[in-house]
Structure 1
Amino acid sequence: MLFNDIKISQSPQIAPLPSNVEPRLIDNGTLHLEASLAGNAERYTRGETSHTIHVWWARRPHSSMRALAFASLCKDTTSESYDLLKDLTERSDKSILDYTANLLKKQYSYPPKVLDMFGGGGTIPFEVANIGADSYSIDANELSVFIQKCNLYYSQEVDNKKIIGIVRESGYRILEQLRNESETLFPLRNSMERPPFGYFWTYSMNCQKCNYKFYLSKRRWLSKKKDKNIALLIENKTQEQVFTIGTVPGNTKFENETVWLGRTSSKLACPNCGELYENISIKDCNDEIVALVRPAEGKGKEFIDVVEDAIPSLEYMTNFEKRLLGELNIILPDSKLPKWSGIVNPALYGIETHSDFVNLRQRIILLLLIKALRNEYENLKSLQNESTAKYVIALLSSLIDQLVDWNCRLSMWISQNEQVGRAFCGPGVSMYWDYIEIDPVLNGPANLFGKLERIISGISSINKFQVKPKIYHAYAQKLPFEDNFFDAIVTDPPYYDNIYYTVLADFFYAWKRLALELIDEQLFSVKQTDTSHELVASKFRSNTAEQAHEDYCNQFSHAIKEAARVLKDDGTFSLVYSHSSINGWEAIVKAYRNSNLVITSIQPLSIERKQRPRAMTSEAVNTCITLVAHKSFDTKKPAKIAEVLEKIEEISNSFAKDLLDSGWSEEDVGLTVFANGVGMLANISKIEDTKDDNESLTLIAKKVHERFPKFSVKNRKSL
């Protein structure tokens, strides 16, 4: 039997280590025991990590990635190294990092070289550098490369002891300039004792048939906190609809009180004459403020009706923007949003460019912030030096991130906790007909002074690395490295069709480039980030769902072959992955099967928060899987599906039972068992008695579901 050598120990060893490989600590199969606990703990705290600085998606906990990097490199598999692994999940102080770096250097006689071929937000290369290894990272997306250069490269060019003070001083100068120059844009700042920090907007239309004015509002709740239940109420008057603020029962449903013909319909009807409208564009509507929120006299927030002078005249703001654009010698972002129904919905309703998703006042605030950042860059070059100026402004450019994400036409109000919700959490971009605008320099939700403090907290986690990381703008399908170069590859690729990184990144990149061309002209010379090498299964880019699946499988296979090429013969390849569909896992099978890599173990990492983007849907999974692989020069052999299913049963009776007893959820345990089946399929040349890999995976999924009923994977097409 092909799978006789599988050992059911910690994480099962689903293939023997190739003879050319010396075992690494990760091959003991114990990673899940410590890294998962540490990762979950970190995800549920707002600790001092680099994640608090820049916006990126699918970020992994630093503690888990530090453990993964160390376990993938460490050649000592004794209990002493396992104890160190446990310590590394809990600590990242200088003493333990220096000890780890010296240990690895002794084992290799040099700092081992490690590649992350999908760098993303830079967590893996950051932690590789933290443990003293020679860290290399690439990404095809310009925004990702910038984030990594900021945290991993620019940070190493400055005086760590002084930098926090410099960032704080510069940040306050920038925000005070923004406060002063935006005074006239918020007339209520100085005319009210408790000025509003939030402005509720919706869209209005005038019926072309009867001229009745009505609102397109869908989200009417202002507060659903205990004993409050405050909402916007609409009354149909003779000439128009009118908003008032009122207290209503907590179980009130507003769905039937909108002009929209159904919750997901794109059609609406005039509430006065019944005239039907479709293909609605915000360009045919008016943005209107319908309520304000300010601090209450005691604790909490107070919702009030709109008052006069809540916003300057359109003429004043138009002239203000025109003057500012001339002063900065720039034009507004005119790059286009893709019109992908179900993925980028705002583009279907008139939000066509990366300057349309903000209203006029929000746009001017962004321009004023860009002006202040550019001024401070020149100021720092004279006060400090160019390296310091680059790093400080690269860090503080994440103030732009805050405005883009939390102060735009796509930023929602969360009535349950009376906070502002992010616009761009992924996987795509939703359209909202109600949005919240903030005054970003007042003490309200999502304000810029709070963001500045989070930036400063994040800086304190960035150490001086023993070896300066190398960051490349490149792509995984054609790595810019020679053969047999890396001791380990540790990476976390895009998961099939989970998140559209370039779509999300462009909302930030389009505005950041106006401030950052001064720092990195090459990275910010284009209007939008590169999509040509993005690894994502998208029917919009490949024309059909079937072609999207084939394209992803082909491109992912190229990337895995490239990984095998640049990995040393005795190296370790640790890849973090998860997906909720059969197709997403079939891509893994095909890619590894077509390479000279053999997956030796599957190790689960419970490091995903339930509130991350994909957890909003019923198809979300909570556990990531680490596929541990090594180079093998043996020929892969065929097998029968019964052999795989037999081993699935063995794993279910042993390792899976241990996970359940340790408190893992049935759903996550089922995914882990299923992923072991994926690894076994990837290690064979073909299944002899099934039609194709999809059928084999479906049979494995059925077997796992019978044992763990809460587990499921969908047999669906790519998005």
Structure 2
Amino acid sequence: MTLRLKLIEHSLPLEAINLANKTKNKAPKHYPTKLHKYWAHRPLATSRAVIFAQLVDDPSAWPNIFHTDEDQARERRRLHQVIKEMIEWPDPNAKDQKRFERAIEVARYEIARSVAWGLGEEPPTDPKAVIDFLQTKGPPVYDPFCGGGSIPLEAQRLGLRAYGSDLNPVAVLITRALIEFPPKFANLPPVHPNVKKEGDLGGRVWNGAQGLAEDVRGYGQWMRDEAEKAIGELYPKVMLPDGSKATVVAWLWSRTVASPDPAQKGAHVPLASSFVLSSKADREAIVVPVKDAAAEGGWQFTVKTKGVTKAEMAVAARGTKASQGSFTCLLSGSRIQYAYVDDEANAGRMRARLMAIVAEGPRSRIFLPPNDEHAQLALSVVAEDKPDQPARGTFASNAQGRIYGFKSFGDYFTSRQLVALTTFSDLIGKVRERVLEDASAATAFANHLDPKLPLAEGGTGPVAYADAVATYLSCALSRVSEYNSSISTWLPKDNAIRTTFARQAIPMSWDFCEANPFEKSSGGWQSAVDTSSEYLLTSYTGSLAQCYLIDAPKNSYPIRPALISTDPPYYDNIGYADLSDFFYVWLRRSLKNIHKELFRRLLTPKSEELIAERYRYGGQAQADKHFMDGMGEALEAMRKASTEAPLAIYYAFKQSEAREEGVLSPGWAAFLQAVVNSGLRVDATWPVRTEASNRAVGNNANALASSVVLVCRARPEDAETASRREFLRDLKPQMRQAIEDHQKAGVPLPDRRQAAIGPGIGNFSKYAAVREADDTAMSVATALTLINREIDEALSEGTEALDAETRFALEWYEINGYKLVSGGAGTAINMLQGFNLAESRMNASGLFRSRGGDAKLLTRFEMIDADPHWSPSRDGTFTVWEIAQHLSRVFHAEDGGTDKAGRILAESRRSAPDVLLVAERLFEIATNKGDNDEALTWNQLQTAWPEIERAADRAEADGVGPAPIQGQFAFPALP
């Protein structure tokens, strides 16, 4: 069977994908990741683009249709444009939504076309018929490490059958809520009785999961009202200076311990990382601790909101921290070490003192000093119920053995927070009964075939619907718990609450805030309900999907063969199971009778998780073995279950790996070794920037804005072995060809090195083994070293075939830049002889000037001043250097841009690869010379190269060059 090359095995529009990821670091309205917190969500843009490129054939697979290299290159550019149009998440306006839906329709057609051609059929063109075709004849997409659900979600959006699985029950619940539950209740009206009172049912059409979203919001409002009746008195309003009352947004607290100075007689003093309340311009506010013999402990907190100086802000920003690992005693100035604090906390002697109150004012938030009544009320609350599961492995300071008294998950919350969370959790059970009663009486569920079948067993009737509403409200409870723990802090810059998980860990917070769950803020219940239900308003419900609770190494794949696209754990990166327990304990409390399979344990499974965490397995060697063995089994299971299309497997680098040269890092080498050992060969490695590079991290977790998508196929069972010499013999030309292909495909120079590793490892992994001189098998780590050596050489070469004038200009620029070299004519003549060029010829070229003993390489602006009407068609002997310089000039000009640059390229199309090579070489030289402006100029030209080539295509169609192929496809690229 002949395997057809897929687009992902040749090229991807990396810059467009990376830009789409970057713009979505902060999730916009309706963004699916807002449904529930999960760590390292795979960006939707990347997931969508990768799945598309896994399924769409590369044009070279159809030489009978795309006859020449240029035909194929033009078609790739068109497919890249399809990807660019579909990966931008739409703004919530009708026009943008319609554009996005059209772009997705085009993408579905392209997938269907490749599938149909592979079957010897013609693809359908009607959008609904395309979806029906993909559902029946398109390959199912399966992600065995589904995590937050991005990959199966995007497979579903592209019209494919989508499946996922995970060991982590929190991940499975999130993925089911994203892809599995909304289609079950598509196009149903809400059942909440208040909707009828509001007149919303009168002729309204409830599309998709809009009715479900409305019920989540409506029943969530009922829960809020019931909770306020029960515990509203725990959250009183506060008196303002003018005698009026205001709603409290948050109470800000500082932890305290007894001063270690014996002279202070056990007086408690504050531990605060900052005393800044607001750092907004003209709204600065700070807490000022002052000694007061009459106050408790001999000191008190005051608040200053007017006339705060920069010096006072600087002092407040330090809190009571003295240095890393210690605080200063407010009363005596003595040091308080973290070890002392840990001992006091574990002995139950750490307390908290109210530091300030944040109230909602008419125009902005108001900062008020502590109120004794408010403080005493909060401290008097007794929580009769709290999660008692042990909190192990989640705390950021575990490396020092400090847990600061946080022994169970209940310890992360104040008593008032626990009362609020348990109240809302209990109400989820009650609201489920109300939903069941209303749904049973609703017309939409009348005469249902199996009305009592629960959601967890595949039900779609009233019981299942009540289960679904309760599930989404439990997701809202997770969000409330995230903003309502004693790890949550106040953000002075935003005047808002910071979540518990500002890091991918649970760090210690010395000062924290208690949110008012009845206020409309990020910590409020109704805000959490609205945020968690927003996704349902735009969720895709056109096809059913499923997610399973399965350990990846033991996965026999209930759906097979399948297209595998997955984002597995990364060696020793993030312990998702430990972190997920924070939510699991509350989800289990609310949903253990609804999703019994998911919440049968007290905590998430740990020992099976594929992560090389030494504290779990008794040392690094044992941890490494656990990861390698388990990942090898998981990858082998993927290989056996996969279709003929390539697998896509993500790997994310940690920041420490980048500093240590990522290609040789232990995690990267170990992961690649597991891939090779599993019987897979690597065809491509595409670097994509998928993480927010500036976010806080913990436990040396991933902080680099870079992941690598490994594109793999099954290695033939009869693959041969090779010697080291044979491997190296093939490697050199393969590296050069790969870099040339990536250059033509518009892969940016900074990404080209990582992209070239794929073909190199592909050359290595196509063999059953590569034998060293002593007959031992070569390791992946050794192969990576050899591959990178060849990449270094290949990237530094390639200019030998350029015209002599261009090669001379490159060398002159590297030595002298564009400056006038006084007395440099003699040097120039000597250099020109080395290129077999005469001084007169170089002067006539229009890019260099040598006269009066001086010499100068002309800038692109000086070149156009010398010949204002220059164009390739007017210059019958143009050089590659001239094309590159004029392209850059026109592209960056105020009256220029992509279209004008494209016209220049259209007149010199055969020189395009050489022009791009010169641009890359100039970027390298300018970077090495420290000329950042010039380097940026050439980097921007490289980044825009695919757009310039498309503009050249349009120019050719207008008569500047040969016209492109017309009329082949039912769906053109979007304008």
Q: Judge same fold: TM > 0.5, yes or no.
A: yes
Classify 1:271/1:280 alpha carbon distance in 2 versus 1 (closer, same or farther; 3 Å). farther
Contact 2:686–2:754 (8 Å) recurs in 1: no
Post-superposition offset of 1:82: 5.2
1:476 partnered with 2:552: yes
- Asked if residue 131 in structure 1 is aligned to residue 197 in structure 2, the reply is no
Which residue is 2:646 aligned to? 572
Q: Which whole-Å CA distance do the structure 1 matches of 2:758 and 2:388 have between them?
A: 44
Whether 1:243 and 2:290 are equivalent positions in the alignment is no
Residue in 2 that maps onto 1:378:
433
Q: Give the deviation of 1:274 after TM superposition.
A: 4.6
Compute the displacement of 1:41 (Å): 3.6
How many angstroms does 1:232 deviate by?
2.0
1:620 has 2:703 as partner: yes
Q: Which one-letter code corresponds to 1:586 in the other structure?
A: A
Residue 514 of structure 1, aligned match among 589, 598, 604: 589
Indicate how the Cα distance of structure 1 residues 89 and 681 shifts in structure 2: closer, same or farther if over 3 A, else same: same
Q: In the alignment, is residue 609 of structure 1 matched against residue 609 of structure 2?
A: no
Deviation at 1:314, TM superposition (A): 6.5
The equivalent of 2:516 in structure 1 is 439
1:280 is paired with a residue of what secondary structure? Answer: helix
Q: What's the secondary structure of 1:169's corresponding residue? A: helix
Q: Partners of 1:479 and 1:42 in 2: how far apart?
A: 33
Matches of 1:181 and 1:509 in 2, distance apart? 25
Q: Deviations over 1:102-137 (max 9, x none)?
A: 547645662312210101011111111222322221
1:179 aligns with 2:228: yes
The CA deviation at 1:292 is: 0.8
Question: Percent same amino acid at aligned positions?
Answer: 19
Report how far residue 196 of structure 1 moved. 1.9
Structure 2 counterpart of 1:26, from 8, 11, 14: 8
Q: Secondary structure of 2:357's match?
A: strand
Distance 2:789 2:356 in 1: 52
Contact 2:396-2:506 within 8 A present in 1 as well: no
- TM-superposed deviation, 1:591: 1.0
User: In structure 2, do the counterparts of structure 1 residues 417 and 46 end up closer, same or farther at CA, with 3 Å as the change threshold?
Assistant: same
Match of 1:61 among 37, 40, 43: 43
Does residue 304 of the first structure (1) align with residue 368 of the second (2)?
yes
> Could you tell me which residue of structure 1 aligns to residue 568 of structure 2?
493
8 A contact 2:651–2:708 mirrored in 1? yes
2:112 is the alignment partner of 1:36: no
Deviations 1:392-421 (A, max 9, x none): 121121221222211111112222222211
The residue type equivalent to 2:169 in the other structure is E
What CA distance in whole angstroms lies between the structure 1 residues aligned with 2:573 and 2:743? 29
Say whether the 8 Å CA contact 1:487–1:572 is kept in structure 2: no
Are 2:467 and 2:594, in contact at CA under 8 Å, matched by a contact in 1? yes
Residue 289 of structure 1 aligns with which residue?
A: 354
Do structure 1's residue 116 and structure 2's residue 133 form an aligned pair? no
SS of 2:666's equivalent in the other structure is: helix
- Higher relative contact order structure (alpha carbons within 8 Å, sequence separation ≥ 6): 1
Counterpart of 2:575, as a letter, is Y
Residue 102 to residue 256, structure 1, CA distance change in 2 (3 Å) = closer
Aligned counterparts of 2:761 and 2:511: Cα–Cα separation in 1: 44
Tell me the distance in 2 between the aligned counterparts of 1:200 and 1:344: 28
Which one has the largest radius of gyration? 2
Q: CA deviation at 1:439?
A: 0.4
Give 1:231 deviation, angstroms: 2.3
Partner of 1:200: 252
Aligned counterpart for 1:140 among listed residues 159, 162, 167: 167
Describe the superposition over 1:591-620 as per-residue Cα deviations: whole angstroms up to 9, x where unpaired: 122122111111222333324455998973
Instruction: Say yes or no: does 1:88 pair with 2:173.
Output: no
Deviations along 1:345-381, one digit per CA (max 9) or x if unpaired, are: 8961101111110100111110111122111111101
Given the alignment, which residue of 281, 303, 317 partners 1:226? Answer: 281
Normalising by structure 1, report the TM-score. Answer: 0.84
In the other structure, the counterpart of 1:637 is 722
Letter aligned with residue 89 of structure 1: I
Q: Which residue of 2 aligns with 1:49?
A: 31
Counterpart-to-counterpart distance in 1, 2:183 and 2:403: 44
Between the aligned partners of 1:502 and 1:509, the Cα distance in structure 2 is 9
User: Would the alpha carbon gap of residues 696 and 572 (structure 1) be closer, same or farther in structure 2, given more than 3 Å must change?
Assistant: closer
Cα distance in 2 between the residues matched to 1:65 and 1:341: 30
Distance 1:596 1:186 in 2: 61
Please say if 1:213 is aligned against 2:285: no
**CA drift at 1:519:** 1.5
State the shift of 1:56 in Å: 1.0
Q: Secondary structure at the match of 1:429?
A: coil
Contact 2:20–2:45, Cα closer than 8 Å, also in 1: yes
CA drift of 1:306 comes to 0.9
Note if contact 1:340-1:540 (Cα within 8 Å) is conserved in structure 2. no
Q: Partner of 1:334 in structure 2? A: 389
Q: Cα distance 1:631–1:221, how it changes in 2: closer, same or farther (>3 A)?
A: same
Which residue identity lines up with residue 474 of structure 1 in the other structure?
Answer: I
| TM-score, length-scaled by structure 2 | 0.63
Secondary structure, counterpart of 1:348 in structure 2: coil
How big is each residue's C-alpha offset from its partner over 1:440-462, in whole Å with a ceiling of 9 and x where there is no partner? 22133443323322223211232
- Partner AA of 2:287 in structure 1: L
Distance 1:158 1:563 in 2: 32
Residue 716 of structure 1: aligned partner: none
Q: Is the 8 A contact 1:185 1:312 kept in 2?
A: no
Contact preservation (8 Å) 1:345, 1:429: no
Q: CA deviation at 1:391?
A: 1.5
Shift of residue 207 of structure 1? 3.9
Quickly say closer, same or farther: Cα 1:400–1:631, change in 2 above 3 A: same
Pairwise mapping of residues 361-376 of structure 1 onto structure 2 (< 5 A)? 361-376=416-431
Amino acid aligned to 1:386: V
Residues of 1 paired with 2:407 and 2:258: CA distance?
22
Letter in 1 for 2:645: G
Preserved CA contact (<8 Å) 2:156 2:540: no
Q: Distance in 2 between matches of 1:702 and 1:186?
A: 65
Q: Distance in 2 between matches of 1:272 and 1:22?
A: 76
Residue-by-residue CA offset, 1:462-493 (whole Å, 9 max, x unaligned): 22233x222111111111227x9324100011
SS of the residue aligned with 2:141? strand
Q: For residue 508 of structure 1, report the CA deviation from its aligned partner.
A: 0.5
- Farther off after superposition, 202-211 or 494-503: 202-211
One-letter amino acid of the structure 1 residue matched with residue 708 of structure 2: I
Q: Distance in 2 between matches of 1:615 and 1:32?
A: 29
Give the Cα–Cα distance (whole angstroms) in 2 for the partners of residues 678 and 243 of structure 1: 62
Shifted more, 407-416 versus 679-688: the winner is: 679-688
Counterpart amino acid of residue 154 in structure 2: E
| C-alpha deviation, 1:95, in angstroms | 4.6
Distance 2:499 2:749 in 1: 29
> Which residue number corresponds to residue 314 of structure 2?
252
Q: Deviations over 1:223-253 (max 9, x none)?
A: 2222444322223444523222233426614
Which 5+ residue runs of structure 2 have no aligned equivalent? 60-65, 67-74, 89-99, 120-135, 188-205, 440-461, 658-664, 796-923, 929-975
> In 2, Cα distance between the equivalents of 1:284 and 1:619?
35
Is 1:402–1:451's contact at 8 Å kept on the other side of the alignment? yes
| 1:497-541 Cα shifts (integer Å, max 9, x gaps) | 222111111000101111112321221122111112211121111
The two structures, once aligned, show a CA RMSD in angstroms of: 3.6
- How many residue pairs align between the two structures? 674
Indicate the structure with greater helix content.
Answer: 2
Q: State the 1:545 CA deviation.
A: 2.9
Secondary structure of the corresponding residue to residue 323 of structure 2 = coil
Give me the whole-angstrom Cα distance separating, in 1, the residues matched to 2:396 and 2:633.
Answer: 30
Provide closer, same or farther for how the CA distance between residues 146 and 532 of structure 1 changes in structure 2, counting only shifts above 3 A: same
1:401 equivalent among 453, 475, 478: 478
